[in-house]
Amino acid sequence: MTDCLFCKIAAGEIPSEIVYQDDQVTVFKDIHPAAPVHMLVIPNAHIPSVQAMQEEDQLLFGKLFFTAKKVAQEAGIGESGYRLIVNDGPDAHQEIFHVHMHILGGAKMVHPMG
């Protein structure tokens, strides 16, 4: 999608602090971190939301989780723990309509969420 911020980041059209990238997934640091470690995991393909996911996207969504695990370990938060968040739709406060997973860690998380 030509006007999608995350598509432009994945394509290298907008500068970002890329942590990991391959042909399917890109991980970059959030520009407004909510934790000491705050990265976003996105599919390179434009999928606006979880609800827009198709059956053929199942392996890609699994890869998002596996990549999150990998970069969390590399960031030093694999053992202490981290939070994965996917906001889906306006009521969940999804701000950019390109599926993305937040990795938050590096500090003790507050519970309950809400």
Cα–Cα distance for residue pair 13/5, rounded to 1 Å: 9
Nearest-angstrom CA–CA distance, 40 and 38: 7
In order of 48, 54, 66, 67, 77, the CA distances from 30 in angstroms are 18, 27, 19, 16, 16
Cα separation, 73 vs 81, in Å, equals 9
Owner of token pair 């979880």: 50
Q: Which of 38, 98, 100, 102 is catalytic?
A: 100
The answer to whether residue 100 is catalytic is: yes
Residues with a catalytic annotation lie at 100
